[in-house]
């Protein structure tokens, strides 16, 4: 492909060389530079791609895209040099052209908000698939193209990766792409040039405020608002106090949802359900749909996630019956995920690994009035001790028993991490036992479960590994539970001896 073709929607100044240069690929990582590639000098918080111009020259890049024209002085004249205002935006627009604008060949659905993005993207994907559509997904858990799962470093990957994934979705026959659009992704121009068919605002609360992310809450809000200047239809939670500020300056058609007032889709008669060990919510909707709905994911916030799913799918032309059936069947891996192991007690897997998400999950589960709420969790190594203190305090406050175990200790000792958690437990006078092997901690709780107990496995969620002393080992929460149950059935394991409960 010629350089002029991949720059057709880009504003630039050609400082030297030819726009007829042949381009095989675009790179922004100097380690991947090769002949006939475009090297984009990305400017980040830690590294500046301009520093790697000598590498690009040495490795044979045919084009260099930069922000500072003075850098061209050290580039041989046979190499084409383009100056742009933002190399991040340039990467996005050039990548879209390189992959032949795959976003335009898909129905694109982008979700932004503080909470609920991961769950809702999976709910939308599930409903669309049950309606016979092939769907790709990009988000926190990774990238899904149909049934194929690919790793991703960021909730919203770099723009080159987004368009590469979109192109793979098109190649695989996907009709829809649903993705989490983080505030960082919007701030860093990772989605620049994409006009989403549907942009969704879930909610907003103070988060991601700090030197490496957003300087202020106002900046965080402003970045979220960018989505509604690059989508055709905005789908807005009008129960959130920030919805008007987030949509200020929008250029899209607006559709609204609510569980408290009139909207394009409103929920009422909200209640909790417990059906044969499956927890969830039931509610009635009015507006563009008029029906009763059930979702087997617990918590009032999942009514909001369901409203997003219903409104997106309705606007996309999915029949009402398919939407309701999809909601009824959906489960989201690692997000208040119910494991159907017994009708006597409940086993729930959740990714919560900080105070805010843990409090949300436990408060939700307490609304179902368990006999005992038991938390199995540890803490991440080489991470802030404050998070461990906070996790200990909130679980000590809300749970009847905490079972301290292994999470991802990384280079730290499990006991040292758990000792930090005990500092938090002491603040709320929480009860605990300690079992360092996570599978054994699960076995202890299963074999000593009482009718009505809720056992919550916190922290691992969708992850399929444990990192111990710098080595990643395969570990999946669901597999560990299945192994314990198999061992019990086969007589290879009996009831775990009771351990004395302690208080800090």
Q: Is the pTM of this model over 0.85?
A: yes
Per CATH, 3-98 and 337-503 having the same topology is answered no
Query: How confident is the model at residue 209, as a pLDDT?
Result: 45
* E strand map for 238-366: 253-258, 265-275, 278-287, 291-295, 337-339, 346-350
Output the six-digit token pair for 109: 């659905």
- For the chain, residues with pLDDT lower than 50 are 208-211
pLDDT at 206: 60
pLDDT digits (tens, 9 = 90+) for 292-332: 999 999 999 999 999 999 999 999 999 999 999 999 999 88
Domain ranges of the chain: 3-98, 102-329, 337-503
* SS percent in the chain: helix, strand, coil, step 5: 35, 25, 40
Cα(180)–Cα(168) distance, rounded to whole angstroms? 18
Q: Is 3.40.1190.10 the CATH number for 102-329?
A: yes
Q: Which tokens sit at 363?
A: 């408060």
With both helix axes pointing from N to C terminus, report the angle between 320-329 and 301-315 in degrees, rounded to the nearest 10: 150
- The secondary structure of residue 164, as a DSSP letter, is H
DSSP sequence for 469-480: TTEEEE--HHHH
> How far is residue 32's CA from residue 225's CA, in Å, rounded to a whole number?
34
Within 10 A of 339 (CB to CB), how many other CB atoms are there? 18
Topology of 337-503 in CATH? 3.90.190
What is the per-residue pLDDT across 125-141, written as a single tens digit (0 to 9) for each? 999 999 999 999 999 88
Q: The domain 3-98: what is its CATH number?
A: 3.40.1390.10
Q: What pLDDT is recorded for position 208?
A: 45
């Amino acid at each position: 492909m010629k350089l002029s073709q991949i720059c057709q929607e880009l504003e630039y100044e050609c400082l030297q060389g030819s726009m007829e240069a042949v381009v095989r690929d675009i790179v922004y990582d100097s380690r991947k530079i090769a002949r006939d590639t475009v090297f984009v000098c990305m400017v980040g918080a830690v590294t500046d791609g301009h520093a790697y111009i000598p590498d690009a020259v040495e490795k044979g890049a045919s084009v260099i895209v930069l922000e500072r024209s003075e850098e061209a002085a050290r580039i041989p004249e046979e190499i084409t040099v383009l100056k742009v205002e933002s190399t991040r935006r340039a990467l996005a627009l050039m990548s879209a052209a390189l992959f032949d604008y795959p976003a335009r060949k898909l129905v694109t659905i982008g979700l932004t908000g503080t909470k609920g993005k991961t769950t809702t993207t999976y709910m939308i994907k599930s409903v669309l698939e049950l309606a016979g559509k092939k769907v790709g997904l990009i988000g926190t858990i990774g990238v899904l193209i149909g049934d194929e799962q690919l790793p991703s470093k960021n909730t919203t990957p770099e723009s080159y990766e987004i368009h590469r994934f979109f192109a793979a979705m098109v190649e695989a026959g996907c009709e829809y792409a649903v993705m989490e659009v983080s505030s960082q992704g919007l701030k860093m121009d990772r989605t620049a040039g994409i006009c989403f068919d549907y942009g969704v605002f879930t909610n907003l609360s103070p988060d991601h405020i700090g030197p490496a992310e957003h300087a202020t809450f106002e900046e965080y809000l402003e970045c979220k608002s960018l989505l509604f200047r690059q989508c055709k239809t905005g789908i807005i939670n009008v129960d959130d106090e920030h919805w008007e500020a987030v949509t200020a300056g929008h250029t899209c058609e607006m559709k609204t949802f609510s569980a408290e007032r009139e909207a394009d889709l409103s929920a009422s008669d909200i209640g909790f359900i417990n059906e044969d060990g499956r927890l969830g919510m039931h509610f009635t909707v009015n507006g563009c749909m008029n029906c009763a709905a059930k979702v087997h994911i617990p918590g009032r916030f999942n009514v909001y996630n369901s409203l997003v799913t219903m409104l997106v799918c309705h606007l996309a032309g999915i029949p009402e019956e398919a939407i309701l059936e999809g909601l009824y069947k959906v489960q989201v891996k690692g997000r208040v995920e119910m494991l159907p192991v017994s009708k006597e007690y409940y086993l729930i897997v959740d990714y919560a690994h900080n105070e805010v998400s843990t409090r949300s999950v436990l408060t939700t589960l307490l609304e179902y009035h368990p006999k005992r709420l038991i938390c199995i969790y540890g803490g991440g190594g080489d991470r802030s001790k404050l998070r461990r203190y906070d996790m200990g305090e909130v679980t000590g406050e809300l749970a009847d028993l905490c079972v301290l175990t292994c999470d991802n200790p990384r280079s730290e000792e499990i006991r040292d991490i758990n000792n930090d958690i005990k500092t938090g437990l002491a603040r709320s006078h929480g009860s605990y036992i300690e079992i360092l092997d996570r599978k054994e901690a699960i076995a202890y709780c299963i074999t000593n479960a009482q009718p009505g107990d809720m056992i919550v496995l916190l922290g691992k969620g969708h992850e399929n590994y444990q990192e111990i002393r710098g080595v990643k080992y395969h570990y999946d929460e669901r597999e560990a539970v299945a192994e314990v149950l198999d061992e019990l059935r086969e007589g290879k394991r009996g009831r775990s001896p009771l351990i004395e409960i302690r208080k800090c």
